[in-house]
């Protein structure tokens, strides 16, 4: 009976672990004397939209950059899709990165490439032997998904801020990642375009069943897309909960974000 109960418990734990796509345990990161992240513990579940709020300079971008290895953590453990990334070699890290999409704050489009070339770049780099026809159809589909089909031969400099963000999203989604990381996706955009981008993030979640971490200062965007919100304060997780919970939080500082 005991063995049976243990195995059921282990199976339950395994199932729970399968549902966790990102897990951070006691994560620390400093730049000199500036402790950007302090003892961060965080879990993101499969298919979840996790929004991270916080004042500028509280380590939000560092947090998501550590997930793709752009920033190396000082202490703690970081598990992505069940793998401890500090124990992975370069090739294994590349394999993990293939499953993660990252939308940069500035969209980070390659200025020296056209819209088509921007979208072809990740395909060429990751699916080395992809036939030309297949690549063309993937590029067209990605542009159609973000409503930019007509811009295929334009240069990034010819696009508006909102279009650049959407194109950045298309470039990220072209490889159909399991995890999406958004670094302030609506910053610098007008309210209407911000809303469009927020809806696009929701569509992406539904269509591709992605799990997303979204860093934003845009409360309207957070309200629309968040399944759960974490508030960072001076590199520490200060509050966690749903939009409704945090809006009515007993803590005045947390509440001030939503006013």
Partner 1 sequence: MENTILENSPNEHLEAETIPESFSEPISDSVFNKFFLEVASLTSFTWRFFKEVFKPPYEFNELMKQSFLIGYKSLPLIGITGFIIGLVLTIQSRPTLAKFGAESWLPAMVAVSIIREIGPVITALIFAGKVGSGIGAELASMNVTEQIDAMQVSCTNPFKYLVVTRVLSATIMLPILIIFSDAIGLLGSFVGVNLKGNVSTYLFFSQIFQSLEFGDLAPAFIKTIFFGFAIGLIGSFKGYNSYKGTEGVGKAANSAVVFASLMVFIIDMIAVQITSLFQN
- Could you say whether residue 92 binds partner 1 (CB under 8 A)? no
Residues 27-46 contacting partner 1, CB under 8 A = 31-34
Dist. CA 174–CA 135, nearest whole Å: 10
- Could you say whether residue 188 binds partner 1 (CB under 8 A)? no
Dist. CA 109–CA 242, nearest whole Å: 33
Q: What angle is formed at CA 156 by the lines to CA 151 and CA 160, rounded to 5 degrees?
A: 80
Rounded to the nearest 5°, which phi and psi values hold at 257?
-65, -30
- Evaluate whether 53 touches 239 at the Cβ level (below 8 Å): no
Residue from 68, 152, 219, 224 that binds partner 1 (CB under 8 A)?
68
Q: Which two tokens stand for residue 36?
A: 């950007």
- Could you say whether residue 182 binds partner 1 (CB under 8 A)? no
Residue from 17, 41, 84, 110 that binds partner 1 (CB under 8 A)?
110
Buried b (16+ CB within 10 A) or exposed e, 58-68: bbbbbbbbbbb
- Could you say whether residue 104 binds partner 1 (CB under 8 A)? yes
- Could you say whether residue 131 binds partner 1 (CB under 8 A)? no
Q: What is the DSSP letter of 88?
A: -
- Could you say whether residue 105 binds partner 1 (CB under 8 A)? yes
Q: How far is the CB of 13 from partner 1 (least distance, A)?
A: 32
Q: How far is the CB of 246 from partner 1 (least distance, A)?
A: 29
Cα-to-chain-centroid distance, residue 186: 13
- Could you say whether residue 130 binds partner 1 (CB under 8 A)? no
Q: How far is the CB of 74 from partner 1 (least distance, A)?
A: 12
Using CB under 8 A as the binding criterion, the count of chain residues that bind partner 1 stands at 27
- Could you say whether residue 135 binds partner 1 (CB under 8 A)? no
C-alpha distances out from residue 241 to 153, 182, 227, 238, Å: 44, 19, 9, 11
What residues line the site for partner 1 (CB under 8 A)?
Answer: 31-34, 65, 68-72, 94, 97-98, 100, 102, 104-106, 108-112, 121-122, 125-126
């Amino acid at each position: 009976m005991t063995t049976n109960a243990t195995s059921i418990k282990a199976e339950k734990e395994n199932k729970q672990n399968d549902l966790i796509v990102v897990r951070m345990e006691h994560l620390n990161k400093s730049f000199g004397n500036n402790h950007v992240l302090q003892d961060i513990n965080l879990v993101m579940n499969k298919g979840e939209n996790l929004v991270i709020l916080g004042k500028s300079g509280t380590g939000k971008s560092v947090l998501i950059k550590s997930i793709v290895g752009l920033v190396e953590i000082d202490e703690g453990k970081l598990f992505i899709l069940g793998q401890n990334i500090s124990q992975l070699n370069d090739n294994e890290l590349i394999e993990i990165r293939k499953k993660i999409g990252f939308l940069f704050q500035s969209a980070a489009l390659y200025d020296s490439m056209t819209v088509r070339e921007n979208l072809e770049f990740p395909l060429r780099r990751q699916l080395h032997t992809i036939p030309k026809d297949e690549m063309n159809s993937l590029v067209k589909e990605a542009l159609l998904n973000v409503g930019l089909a007509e811009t295929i031969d334009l240069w990034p400099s010819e696009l508006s801020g909102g279009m650049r963000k959407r194109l950045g999203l298309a470039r990220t989604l072209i490889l159909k990642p399991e995890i999406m990381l958004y670094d302030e996706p609506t910053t610098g955009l007008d309210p209407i375009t911000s809303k469009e981008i927020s809806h696009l993030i929701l569509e992406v979640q539904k269509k591709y069943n992605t799990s997303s971490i979204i860093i934003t200062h845009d409360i309207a965007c957070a309200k629309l897309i968040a399944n759960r919100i974490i508030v960072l304060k001076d590199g520490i997780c200060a509050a966690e909960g749903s939009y409704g919970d945090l809006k009515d939080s007993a803590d005045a500082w947390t509440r001030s974000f939503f006013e």
